[in-house]
Structure formats: C-alpha cells, structure tokens
Homo-oligomer: A and B are copies of this chain.
C-alpha cells in the first residue's frame, strides 16, 4: 500500500502521515525501489489506533509517550495499560460532560420553540436576550 491509499484507509491526510513519521509517531515504513513508502497491515492497525486516540482528544505529545513506550518493547506494557486506563477515564468524563451540555442545549432549544410557537404571545422574551428570570421555572441559560 502506498501513501495515498494508506491515507484513504486511515483517514489521515498524506501530509499528516509524513509529519507523524517525522516526529516519531509512526515508524518509518519500508520503501520500494523508487524510494516510495510502502505500508503494511501492522502500520495500518497502528495508524487506526492513533486515529482513535486523536479522536478522543489525546495530544500528540501524549501519543508520543505511548508510541515511545510501545517502541521500547513488551516490558512497558504495564505503563501503556496505565496510560490507556487514565485516558479512558478522561474520555468517560468528557462524555458525561457532553451529555450534560446536551441537556442544556435541549432546554434552550425547547425555550426557543415555546417562544416561537407563541408567535404573538404576551411575553415574547428571547431566551438569550437579557433577563428572562421569573418568566418560566426552568433555568435555560
């Protein structure tokens, strides 16, 4: 697999793949006779996992620590497991936070919808605009 196909397969742009290689996040792959990078299945699996880590908000410097531990060999497995457990906890916290925000958004959207269906109601204060306290019991802002 050459770099363009690898980019399609992993979801990383070509430039990003070369950048990751340069900083040591991806091992330098084999080259064909023309000097072009040739990627295999192991590289693909690793890049896909990196993509997961990135999706979950892990910074490049953290991924580098993980990648370096991985490169150092099997004896770093406990360290890597610890990192993943810590990261897992952060992601779970993030999910909880986002779910909370979702319910705030829902409340606010509902307030807008109530406001818009009372298109000519007696009190049409926008949920955002200045003070609406006392209008309705829910905390919308």
Which of A's residues lie within 8 Å of B, judged by CB? Answer: 41-42, 45-46, 48-49, 52, 55-56, 70, 73-74, 77-78, 80-81, 84-85, 87-88, 91-92, 94-95, 97-99, 101-102, 104-106, 108-109, 112-113, 115-116, 124, 126, 128-131, 133, 141
- Residues of the B chain whose Cβ atoms lie less than 8 Å from the Cβ of A130: 42
Could you give 15 example pairs across A and B, Cβ below 8 Å?
A41-B131, A42-B131, A49-B108, A49-B141, A52-B101, A55-B98, A56-B98, A78-B112, A78-B116, A80-B112, A81-B112, A91-B102, A94-B98, A95-B95, A95-B102
- Residues of the B chain whose Cβ atoms lie less than 8 Å from the Cβ of A115: 77
**B55 adjacent to A129 (CB under 8 Å):** no
For the complex, would chain A's binding face be called helix, strand, loop or mixed by DSSP majority? helix
